[in-house]
Amino acid sequence: MANEVRHYVDVEIGDEITPLVKDIGLARMMAYGAATWDFIRLHYDADYARELGFEAPFVDGQMMGGFLTQHVQDWAGPEAFLRKLAFRNRVMAFPGDSLTCRGVVTDVSATDEGGMVECDLWVENQRGEKVVDPANALLRFPLRSGG
Amino acid sequence: MASLLERLKETVGQKIVIQAPDEMGRSSLRQYALAIGDFNPLYSDREFAQTHGLREVMAPPTLICDTWQYVDSDMDDRGDLVGRGPIRELEGLRAGNEYEFFQPIHPDDVISAHWTVKDVYEKTGRTGSLVFQVIETTFYNQADQLLARNTETMFYRPEA
């Protein structure tokens, strides 16, 4: 959960990142455009999107970065710091889609900077298609309580 | 008229710096968190943030890379902010992003964004050819502290 501190010693290679489900609706897509000052009509105006040849307004690909950040930060707890996040968009997401963020720990190493944890991540839709793949994150964990 | 590839090739090496007119602001953090549906108290509860080692609430990390709030301009009818500069064309679709975060970003940070076009190249696959553009944006605050770097790859379908 987002509120529980997780330490480096509590993380092992192969650990699953708790899955996160995100249901996509047009209101949330519009809210994302407003929150990022990105008023491009492709992401909320159905007539405009169809005029340009798209079946419907599609989710801004960057929104996946916000979902994946929530996914890993909820699992890692409030004292872990997200150092890196990379992702490739594969399949467009549309209103009505249900997306699931998934991931697994692939490497751990204690460094001068802290306890570094690498994860492979991906996002699937309700048809099992990979919407985002591959993706990966690097997080810095506290090495131990109070440290 | 120059082809899309030629036009985009001319952007390689171009740099622009955009200076925010004001601070990030606490409500921007909450609005982004609401849009994502991410109610982590690190983004909204100062006491909780301070309990976990921060001096103040922090921004959801990807906000700084996603927002155009630092562009102080009007928009056109497509919804495009006219002041964001000529580097990226509106028709681009997103192939992916690589974010690097160097420190938590706080509501009192005043952002400057340094944009550089790193590469433009064409790739031919089964569905025809696509033109890719790689843009690196580095973000600093008013104390010239490095906050984050975003390397984004956009792609374009060349005109028929």
- Which of A89 and B4 is assigned the larger pLDDT? A89
**Residue B89 above 80 pLDDT?**
no
N-terminal to C-terminal alpha carbon distance within chain A = 21
8 Å CB contact between B60 and B33: yes
Task: Provide, as residue numbers in chain B, all residues whose Cβ is less than 8 Å from the Cβ of A5.
Answer: 52
Please give the share of chain A, as a percent, with pLDDT higher than 90: 90
8 Å CB contact between A124 and A100: yes
Look at residues B46, B52, B50, B51 and name the one whose alpha carbon lies nearest to residue B29: B46
pLDDT score of B92: 82
pLDDT score of B159: 66
pLDDT score of B94: 87
- Containing H/E element for A26? helix A26-35
pLDDT score of A37: 95
Q: How far apart are CA A12 and CA A119, in angstroms?
A: 11
Q: Which residue of B has its CA nearest to A90?
A: B95
Query: Domains in chain B, please, with CATH?
Result: 4-156 (3.10.129.10)
pLDDT score of B143: 98
8 Å CB contact between B106 and B139: no
Q: How far apart are CA A79 and CA B49, in angstroms?
A: 9
CB contact under 8 A, A28 and B37: yes
* pLDDT tens-digit map of A13-44: 999 999 999 999 999 999 999 999 999 899 99
pLDDT (average), residues B87-91:
69
pLDDT score of B79: 85
pLDDT score of A95: 97
- Containing H/E element for A132? strand A130-141
Structure tokens at B94: 């997103």
* pLDDT tens-digit map of B33-49: 999 999 999 999 999 99
Class of domain A8-25+59-141: alpha beta
**Residue A147 above 50 pLDDT?**
no
pLDDT score of B108: 98
Q: Which of A22, A31, A83 is nearest residue B100 as measured by Cβ atoms?
A: A83
Query: Is there a cis peptide before residue B158, judged by omega within 30 degrees of 0?
Result: no
**Residue A10 above 80 pLDDT?**
yes
Q: How far apart are CA A36 and CA A31, in angstroms?
A: 9
pLDDT score of B100: 98
Task: Provide, as residue numbers in chain B, all residues whose Cβ is less than 8 Å from the Cβ of A65.
Answer: 62, 65-66, 97, 99
Decide if B99 touches A, using CB distance below 8 A: yes
pLDDT (average), residues B5-15:
90
List, in sequence order, the alpha helices (H) in B10-147: 26-36, 46-51, 63-66
Output DSSP code: residue B142: T
Q: Is the ipTM of this complex over 0.85?
A: yes
pLDDT score of B83: 80
Structure tokens at A20: 């996160």
* pLDDT tens-digit map of A63-122: 999 999 999 999 999 999 999 999 999 999 999 999 999 999 999 999 998 999 999 999
Q: Which of B34, B39, B97 is nearest residue A62 as measured by Cβ atoms?
A: B97
- Decide: helix, strand or coil at residue B148: strand
